[in-house]
Amino acid sequence: MDHTVTPAPIKRTIRRPEVIKKTGISRTAIYLLERKGEFPQHWMQTPRCAVWDESEVEAWMAKRRAETINSACATNLPWPRSGATA
């Protein structure tokens, strides 16, 4: 019987400057979204080093992208406008 333990995949953590660069949103906006539960939570790697799980941030970005596309494709938009000429 083989008792080999498969190691857990290594999760990459990213610090605030990289989170800002990846998402394009400000530091303040990140913390406000975190507080509302709408952005992945950071944790303190050391007393002065906040980090985020990169895969969680990327999943958040993918979800936001999908929501934006879905809202842009809403069927209740008056398109084309009646009486509009080209």
pLDDT tens-digit readout, 14-68: 999 999 999 999 999 999 999 999 999 999 999 999 999 999 999 999 999 988 7
In this prediction the pTM is 0.70
Is the previous residue joined to 80 through a cis bond, with omega within 30 degrees of 0? yes
What whole-number distance in Å separates Cα of residue 56 and Cα of residue 63? 10
Q: Is the dihedral of CA 17, 23, 29, 31 positive or negative?
A: negative
| Whole-angstrom distance, CA of residue 44 vs CA of residue 50 | 5
Among candidate residues 41, 44, 39, the one with its CA nearest the CA of residue 25: 39
State the average pLDDT over residues 3-7.
75
pLDDT given at position 54? 97
Q: What is the pLDDT of residue 8?
A: 73
Largest CA distance in the chain: 77
Inform me whether the pLDDT recorded for 73 exceeds 70. no
Tell me what pLDDT residue 53 has. Answer: 97
